[in-house]
Structure 1
Amino acid sequence: MEGEMISFVKVWLTAYASLFYCYVVGKLVPKGIPRLLAICPVVFLFLFLPLNLSSMHLGGTTSFFLAWLANFKLLLFAFSKGPLSADPSVSPARFVAVACLPIKIQSQQQQQQPQNPRKKRGQKSLLHYSIKGLILALLVRAHDYYTHFWPENLVLILYSFHIYLCLEIILAVAAALARAVSGVELEPQFDEPYLSTSLQDFWGRRWNLMVTGILRPTVYEPVLDAATRVVGRKWALLPAVMGTFAVSAVMHELIFFYLGRLKPTWEITCFFVLHGACLAAEIGLKKALTGKFRLPRIVSSFLTVGFVMVTGFWLFFPPLLRFQADVRAFEEYAAVGAFVKNVGGAFTFKTVINATRLTMYTSRL
């Protein structure tokens, strides 16, 4: 882990320097093809940097932040679009934070507007994250028990919660760091996806909202505009949805390659293409019914979450288990726990020695 931490620091120092270069490029190079050509070396570098890391948590987080989010934001920035172009007078520190962290800063207009109920639900308290952190810790602690004695499908359900909790906490920590640096209010990344009432609700409004926000201007809207000119507005939504899920599939395949360094089996692609097709069918069905029929909320939530989990067991989890993501992740937890224990033991031992010396010194007086 020591070598991995050193590599992690080197990778992120390189990323920070590269993003500062992009900040300068934005000031000196006009938008469009010239700025794109100037930024392209950084895009390729960010595709290469995660290969220097092999751990599940540090490597997975870095690949998501740099190879996906930062690269997509930089491609938008080349044409003066996206979150990096929202404020031309932004400071270098804020530019770097927005570029490499999964955050979206609320505009002044958004901050002044009264929040709707969904937004209020999206803003989570420290207690909320503390409870979820405790649940995650209990899952980690009980890992050896439930993997040996519980049925495989039940273990996969716990893995689903593990992935969700881990992602939400990591993204919340990243947002908190950005908030501490920039002092601005940030938009939430998750909004209780287990309460989703439809696939549209799950993927568009509740699950990993930063990815949704970055795929919309980079893929969804350009495909929607192009398809509108070909097939008309009524049907343009379908290729836009499928195109968005196809790009998401490719990026997930890339992140899984960073994690496992195995040849893709395209199960992840099948997972996202299937969900894209089902979401497109769901949108078409809603338009056909025009609000005439609606399932009870509890039923639609059960069907939606059940569909996501069942298809995940079938297509999403096998690649993860193939490169032993679960085993490696819990080994990393154990390594961190051992490190904290050793540091705590050394601190306690030093405290006892100092206290003993102080007692001996005072007794002599």
Structure 2
Amino acid sequence: MTLQIVQVIKYWAEGEITNFIKVWTLVFASLCYSFFAAKIVPKGFPRLLSIIPILILNLILPLNLHTLHLGGSSAFFLAWLANFKLLMFAFGKGPLSDDPFISLPRFIALACLPIKSHQIKPQDKEITSSSKRGLKSLWNYVTKGFLICLFLKMYDYTDLIHPKFTWVIYCFHIYFGLEIILAIVGGLAKALVGIELEPQFDEPYLSTSLQEFWGRRWNIMVTRILRPTVYEPVLYFCTSITGRKWAPLPAIMGSFLVSALMHELIFFYLGRKRPSGEITLFFMLHGVLLVVEVAIKKAIKGRWRLPRLITGPLTIGLVVVTAFWLFFPEFLRCNAISRALDEYATMGAFVKDISQALVL
């Protein structure tokens, strides 16, 4: 039985999984270097110069992975999360600098995973309510996992389904898939080093404005990273030019521009194709629309407001329509859906082979 298990694992360990292990071994080593280098290199430009090779390495490593799930998630964790957190760390800011006595395992986990920086304490008075929220989240993820399985079955009948409805399924599939992948990674970090999962999404389909969708409900970790690295510096610079009242508008556009460029990079990792510019147009369009929304709110000062029954569908409808127009074409050019189905099939075959080996 042991020999059969080894043979099955060896078969599936060839290729992508082997590369995945090599990539994250290098990530571990590079973050160890960053951790110990910071002990002797002062924050500021000296520390930045010391970690520039790590920033470049984090951009190169995802090129060694080609699957949608392992490659895409690694690209997001390294090229985006880790690099932006290390940039803040170079200047003594961000989650890596909050605790001056941070341990190496916590430093590594915080550097590249979507988790919070405070440690979970069993004696916390809110431990009971937190456990209840965790249980609710577990059922939430189970439900979304079931829906993904349902979507996978529906893909067998796409020739009988209107193409636009299929794209709606893609929307929910991507959202649910991202949420589950990030929850699994964050859950492992919580179990291993006792750090709480950073909430990534807060039911974005309940948003009633673009400001609420992009600022408080969709990919919250990215929002929290862009705020200190892009939004606040641009806000500070523009305050002396436009005044404090209107400075947030160029800061919003700057944040959306950086987000657009990072999404273009992630899509390049996924498809290895030259960017078409549609992703950038998508985010810049939403940046302009959000600037208009914020400007109107500042002008009317809360004197008049549309009911939620109107603003909710308008907001989600706008996001979905523009995503169909500009976002999903790039996603489909990466052949993402068929690749995801192939990867699910491969994983299913792997689990089946392991089960059979254990039985025999």
Q: Fold match, TM over 0.5? A: yes
Work out the CA distance in 2 between the residues paired with 1:201 and 1:106.
25
Residue in 1 that maps onto 2:63? 51
> Is the CA contact (8 Å cut-off) linking 2:96 and 2:107 kept in structure 1?
yes
Work out the CA distance in 1 between the residues paired with 2:50 and 2:35.
11
Displacement of 1:112 in angstroms is 6.8
Work out the CA distance in 2 between the residues paired with 1:249 and 1:113.
41
Work out the CA distance in 1 between the residues paired with 2:141 and 2:154.
20
Residue in 2 that maps onto 1:354? none
The one of 336, 339, 347 aligned to 2:350: 339
* 1:187 is the counterpart of 2:195: no
Q: How does 1:120-199 map to 2 (within 5 A)?
A: 124-145=136-157, 147-199=158-210
Q: Which moved more, 1:286-295 or 1:4-13?
A: 286-295
CA distance 1:312–1:121, change in 2 (3 Å): farther
* 1:20 is the counterpart of 2:32: yes
Displacement of 1:107 in angstroms is 7.1
Alignment-mate amino acid for residue 303 of structure 2: K
Deviations 1:320-364 (A, max 9, x none): 11121111111111111121122222323x1xxxxxxxxxxxxxx
CA distance 1:124–1:21, change in 2 (3 Å): farther
> Is the CA contact (8 Å cut-off) linking 1:106 and 1:186 kept in structure 2?
no
Alignment-mate amino acid for residue 69 of structure 2: H
The one of 287, 295, 302 aligned to 1:291: 302
CA distance 1:122–1:275, change in 2 (3 Å): farther
Structure 2 segments unaligned to the other structure (5+ residues): 1-11
Deviations 1:167-194 (A, max 9, x none): 0001111110111122133331111011
SS in 2 for 1:104: strand
Residue in 2 that maps onto 1:264? 275
* 1:254 is the counterpart of 2:249: no
> Is the CA contact (8 Å cut-off) linking 1:106 and 1:187 kept in structure 2?
no
* 1:206 is the counterpart of 2:217: yes
CA distance 1:266–1:7, change in 2 (3 Å): same
Alignment-mate amino acid for residue 309 of structure 1: V
Residue in 1 that maps onto 2:75? 63
CA distance 1:121–1:257, change in 2 (3 Å): same
Work out the CA distance in 2 between the residues paired with 1:107 and 1:230.
41
Question: TM-score, normalised to structure 2's length?
Answer: 0.91
Q: Which moved more, 1:69-78 or 1:100-109?
A: 100-109
Matched-pair identity in %: 59
Work out the CA distance in 2 between the residues paired with 1:319 and 1:85.
37
Task: Give RMSD over aligned pairs.
Answer: 2.1
Alignment-mate amino acid for residue 283 of structure 1: V
Q: How does 1:79-118 map to 2 (within 5 A)?
A: 79-106=91-118
Deviations 1:75-110 (A, max 9, x none): 00000000100101011000000001122224789x
> Is the CA contact (8 Å cut-off) linking 2:204 and 2:213 kept in structure 1?
yes
Alignment-mate amino acid for residue 200 of structure 1: Q
Residue in 2 that maps onto 1:228? 239
Work out the CA distance in 2 between the residues paired with 1:23 and 1:124.
36
SS in 2 for 1:125: helix
> Is the CA contact (8 Å cut-off) linking 1:104 and 1:210 kept in structure 2?
no
CA distance 1:105–1:141, change in 2 (3 Å): farther
Residue in 2 that maps onto 1:362? none
Residue in 2 that maps onto 1:218? 229
Alignment-mate amino acid for residue 339 of structure 1: F
Alignment-mate amino acid for residue 47 of structure 2: R
CA distance 1:132–1:289, change in 2 (3 Å): same
Residue in 2 that maps onto 1:237? 248
CA distance 1:32–1:169, change in 2 (3 Å): same
The count of corresponding residues between Structure 1 and Structure 2 is 344
Work out the CA distance in 2 between the residues paired with 1:112 and 1:285.
43
* 1:310 is the counterpart of 2:317: no
Structure 1 segments unaligned to the other structure (5+ residues): 351-365
Q: How does 1:31-42 map to 2 (within 5 A)?
A: 31-42=43-54
CA distance 1:294–1:63, change in 2 (3 Å): same
CA distance 1:197–1:91, change in 2 (3 Å): same
CA distance 1:127–1:346, change in 2 (3 Å): same
Work out the CA distance in 2 between the residues paired with 1:112 and 1:274.
44
